[in-house]
Amino acid sequence: MDFKEFKKKIAPSGKDIAREVFFQNQNAMRIKKEKTAINNLNKIFNAVLGITQEKGFQAMSMRDLSQKTDMSLGALYAYFPGKEELLGIIQTQGRSMIKGLLEQFANAREEPFEKLKAVIKAHIFLSESLRPWFFFMFMEARNLKPAELKAVKAMEEHTQKILIDILEQGEKKEIFRPNDHLLTSSMLKAMQQEWYLKRWKYKKHNISVDQYVDHVLTWVEAFCLCP
């Protein structure tokens, strides 16, 4: 599966994300009409991601958000009590998307090498499809409250454990060579993050996401597979 096919068949759209957020938080929202809520949440999220790329989330005011969305302050507060709650909603939804997709791809395959390739590809392709979300989650994690920051760290450990479990399974089946799988998974995580954090570098050299993924998988094959 290349990126074009992934984006067409699997990657969630902005409205898909907004719909999920609405269903998970509708009891706390004053707007109960589904279509209106989804459209406005999608507008809010796009505005937040756009503003924070320019000046950061902490510098963004609710008035900035009101102007960007053409929604009154009262209309915005119908969806969340304040900025901190909005930050938590975006972070929570982002973690949920990543966790669900990686588990879906990991569970869809039995052979360890195919499973590892699928998980790596899914993560990078998702980050390309939703780069503003990934960039926001990484950059704004430092502004989370302690309990929410703990959830971010737990998510990081969970996604890394998916990689470690696959590598250990492959070693038992003598597909992967014995190695320090914690360090290997950490290197893989860094390569996944490299794509969306330094996208400008690869764009400058006309390197596509498919080329990047193929190169990472070539490294995985050379480093991890038994000779």
Which domains does the chain show, CATH number per domain? 3-224 (1.10.357.10)
DSSP 28: G
Which pLDDT value is given to residue 147? Answer: 82
Q: What is the CA radius of gyration of the chain?
A: 19
* pLDDT, position 144: 81
pLDDT at 13: 93
**pTM flag (> 0.85):** yes
The pLDDT, as a whole number, for residue 151 is: 87
Per-residue pLDDT of 73-131, as tens digits, reads 999 999 999 998 999 899 999 999 999 999 999 998 899 999 999 999 999 999 999 99
Ramachandran area for residue 70 (φ above 0: left; ψ -120 to 50: alpha; else beta) = left
CB contact at 8 A, 127 and 213: no
pLDDT value, residue 152: 86
Q: What is the mean pLDDT of the chain?
A: 93
CA neighbor of 92 nearest in space, from 46, 141, 39: 141
Please state, in angstroms and rounded to a whole number, the distance separating the CA atoms of residues 131 and 195.
9
Q: Look up residue 96 and give its two tokens.
A: 């949920």
Q: How far apart are CA 74 and CA 6, in angstroms?
A: 38
Collapsed DSSP state (helix, strand, coil) of residue 225: strand
State what percent of residues in the chain have pLDDT above 70: 100
* Residue 48 CB-half CA count within 13 A: 26
Token pair listed for 92: 């929570």
Token pair belonging to 46: 């796009």
Rounded CA gap, 165 and 191, in Å?
A: 18
HSE-up of residue 140 (Cα within 13 Å, Cβ side): 28
Under the banding of pLDDT at 50, 70 and 90, the label for residue 166 is very high
Specify the pLDDT at position 181. 96
Q: Each residue of 126-151: pLDDT tens digit?
A: 999 999 999 999 888 887 888 888 88
67 pLDDT more than 90 = yes
Long-range CB pairs of 67-75, under 8 A, 24+ apart, other chains included? 69/40, 69/43, 69/44, 71/40, 71/43, 71/44, 75/40
For residue 143, the model assigns a pLDDT of: 79
Give the per-residue pLDDT at 225.
Answer: 96
